[in-house]
């Protein structure tokens, strides 16, 4: 059986040296950490693509394309996805949502209250969109418990 793992998509592709706009880094860290804790309390594992970039490497070796392949593979093996939108520019999070949709992996989209994602027609196939991470996890869990695991 497929392990129950949720992919945590968040804006990391344009972050350099850990720098976000002021206040955003803490918001992302706190919200992602809250999601991880909530999911673990429910017996669900998580995969965060950002952790792949902390992999040690040989000087001069570019890991970007390799990490992208690893993250794509990981996403296709997850039972669900949470997309975190913070107002930071990102292409990666949007591509991760597209890949999840293509593989029929249910997803939810979180944003802070000042960013209203409900107006985006691009998220119409989301299980839920909102600002309360616990409520979004509950909705995602309801959906993933009724969906069969993706085929190999």
The 10s digit of each residue's pLDDT in 125-150 is: 999 999 999 999 999 998 877 544 44
Of 80 and 26, more confident: 80
Q: Are the C-beta atoms of 12 and 50 separated by less than 8 Å?
A: yes
The 10s digit of each residue's pLDDT in 74-115 is: 999 999 999 998 887 788 899 999 999 999 999 999 998 888
**pTM score of the predicted model:** 0.83
Q: How would you class 117 by CB atoms within 10 Å of its CB: exposed for 0-12, middle for 13-18, buried for 19 or more? A: middle
pLDDT at 56: 62
Lowest mean pLDDT among 13-27, 29-43, 111-125: 13-27
pLDDT at 149: 46
Lowest mean pLDDT among 49-63, 65-79, 81-95: 49-63
Burial 36-48 (b: 16+ CB within 10 A, else e): bebbeeeebebbb
pLDDT at 150: 47
Of 60 and 34, more confident: 34
């Amino acid at each position: 059986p497929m392990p129950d793992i949720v992919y945590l998509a968040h804006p990391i592709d344009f972050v350099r040296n850990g720098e976000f706009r002021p206040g955003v880094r803490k918001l992302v860290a706190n919200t992602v950490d809250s999601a991880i804790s909530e999911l673990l309390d429910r017996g669900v594992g998580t995969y965060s693509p950002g952790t792949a970039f902390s992999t040690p490497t040989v000087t001069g070796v570019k890991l970007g394309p390799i990490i992208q392949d690893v993250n794509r593979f990981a996403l296709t093996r997850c039972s669900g996805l949470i997309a975190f939108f913070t107002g930071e520019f990102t292409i990666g999070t949007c591509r991760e949502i597209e890949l999840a949709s293509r593989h029929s992996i249910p997803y939810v989209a979180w944003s802070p209250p000042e960013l209203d994602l409900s107006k985006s027609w691009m998220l119409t196939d989301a299980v839920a969109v909102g600002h309360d991470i616990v409520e979004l996890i509950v909705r995602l869990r309801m959906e993933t418990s009724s969906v069969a695991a993706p085929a190999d």
